[in-house]
Amino acid sequence: MVYGYARCSTNETRQDIDRQKRDLKHMGAMELYCEYESGVKMEKPELNKLLRIIAPGDTLIATEISRITRSTRQLCEIVEFAQERKIKLVIGDLVIDCVGGLDAMTEGMLKMMGVFAEIERKLTIERINSGIANARAKGVRLGRPAFKFEDIPKKVLEHYETYTNGQLNKTDYARLCGISRNTLYRYLSLLQERA
C-alpha cells in the first residue's frame, strides 16, 4: 500500500494543504493522511495513526522532509522505524528503500535533510522575532486593532435591548449576530461604556 502524508502548521483558513494532496496523488499515494500541526510537535495524531497501520513493504510518501517533521530527533526516530518496519520512504524525489536495509550514505543524507529543515524553521522564527522587535521599536502597535463604537455591527445593536431585558443569553446573542462570544464580549463592553 502507498500512503501519503501532508501537513501544514496552521489551520485550513491560513494555509492550503491542497497542493501537497495533489502532489502526493501524482506521486502514487493511494490513501492520504493530512493534518494541521506544528512540524516540531512530537504528537501528530494523523502521522501516528499512519505509522501504526503501515505494514512491511508499504510506502510512505511526503512532498518534503519538513512536511514529516522539523525535528532532527523525530526524523531519526522515523528513519529507525522505517528500517525496523521495512517500509519505503519517498520524500520528494528521494526514494529511501528500507525494505532491504539502508546504506550509511543514504541514511546520512536523509538526516542532513532533517538538520536543514530544523535550521530553516529556526531561521524563520528568528526573522519573525526580528520583525516584531523592529515594529515595536518604531512604535507600531501589534495585535488586533482596538474595537471602536463605530465598528459594532447593526445586528448587535438591533438585539442589544432584547439581551439587556434578559430575553436572550450571550451564546444565542452571538449566534444570532454571526459572531463569536469573545467578539460579542468586546462589543458589549463598548456598549456598556456608552450606557
**What pLDDT shows up at residue 108?**
82
* Nearest 10 degrees: Cα torsion 60, 44, 111, 12: 80
pTM here is: 0.62
Tens digit of each residue's pLDDT (9 = 90 or more) over 55-109: 999 999 999 888 888 888 888 888 888 888 999 989 888 888 887 777 788 878 8
Distance, CA of 95 to CA of 98 (rounded, Å): 9
Rounded Cα gap, residues 105 and 169, in angstroms: 65
Per-residue pLDDT band at 195 (split at 50, 70, 90): low
Q: Which residue's C-alpha cell is 543514504?
A: 106
- What is the CATH superfamily name and number for domain 2-133? Resolvase, N-terminal catalytic domain (3.40.50.1390)
Q: Which residue has the higher pLDDT, 68 or 10?
A: 68
Which residue type is seen at 9?
S
Please tell me the predicted confidence (pLDDT) of residue 39.
Answer: 74
Domain boundaries of the chain, sorted by first residue:
2-133, 149-194
Write the CA distances from 133 to 6, 20, 128, 137, 144, integer angstroms: 33, 33, 9, 6, 17
First-residue to last-residue Cα distance in the chain: 65
